Amino acid sequence: MGKIGISIFSVLISALAWSQDKVAESYKEPIKPEATEIWSPKPPAVTPGKDGAPPSDAIVLFDGSNFDKWVSARDSSAVKWTLNNDGSMTVKLGRGIGDIQTKRNFGDVQLHIEWKSPEKIVGEGQNRGNSGVFLQKLYELQVLDNNNNDTYVNGQVGAVYKQSIPLAKASVPTGEWNTYDIIYHAPVFGQYGDVVKKATMTVLHNGVLIQDHFELIGPMSFIGWPKYKPHGKLPILLQNHNCEVSYRNIWVREL
């Protein structure tokens, strides 16, 4: 390399060093705390409810006074379940009673619901205090009286029925009120009916985490493997499994 070559080379090296310094400078850690503070947009203010009462922005689906937000799932006729005078409702036994569902359709939600197995123990396995909370009519979170009552673990209380075994069994004694707090994200479908994003469920049972952002395989399937079919927003459904399960204090926040 000649003299000219050497000087061009050294100019290039100094230029490179200078630009690297500039880059390093731009990546310097901010010195002031204010540099990493974000002030907008502000999240909406929500007034929390006390002891499971609905927060200020919730849609109350059932407060014990009527079935105004519900219909029979089979034919959209009036609900035939029993409205009790303690602020709860109970599944009614008999032919033609069936499941109930909300009049309104939902997608992503935070759902609070309280349920109680019958005090008088009847049946065993899947026939004892069985009901279910179906998100979008298709995806079942199991309700079951599992106290001293064994069954298959992917169908026990708190299971995403036949898909996800709960992380714990957090039931209260039979005949006492349980709470489910559910964070549900609806599946997202592409224009060809393909699954872009699976549905997910996170569940707290009496404050205990039992489903941790579980990705659903598909809708509830009693026989065979679940398989998604594209759909839009759909009602929340409560199952009549011929057991006198009660519900109360049901509210939802759309996400």
Q: How many residues bind Mg ion (CB under 5 A)?
A: 3
Shortest Å distance, C-beta 75 to Mg ion: 21
Query: Mask of contacts with Mg ion, 225-254, x by CB under 5 A?
Result: --------------x---------------
- Contact predicate 133/139, CB 8 Å: no
DSSP state of 23: H
Residue (239 or 246) nearer to Mg ion, CB:
239
Nearer to Mg ion among residue 58 and residue 73 (C-beta):
73
Amino acid letter for position 62:
F
Nearer to Mg ion, 200 or 239 (CB): 239
**Window 102 to 161, contacts with Mg ion (CB under 5 A):** 130, 132
Q: Report the distance separating Cα 192 and Cα 85, nearest Å.
A: 49
Q: Which of residues 198-227 bind Mg ion (CB under 5 A)?
A: none
- Work out how close the CB of 220 gets to Mg ion at its nearest, in angstroms, rounded to a whole number: 9
Are 180 and 205 contacting, i.e. CB atoms less than 8 angstroms apart? Answer: yes
SS3 sequence of 112-173? EEEEECCCCCCCCHHHCCCEEEEECCCEEEEECCCCCCCCCHHHCCCCECCCECCCCCCCCC
Residue 41 or residue 224: which is nearer to Mg ion going by CB? 224
- Asked if 98 is part of the footprint of Mg ion (rule: CB under 5 A), the reply reads no
Binding site for Mg ion (CB under 5 A): 130, 132, 239
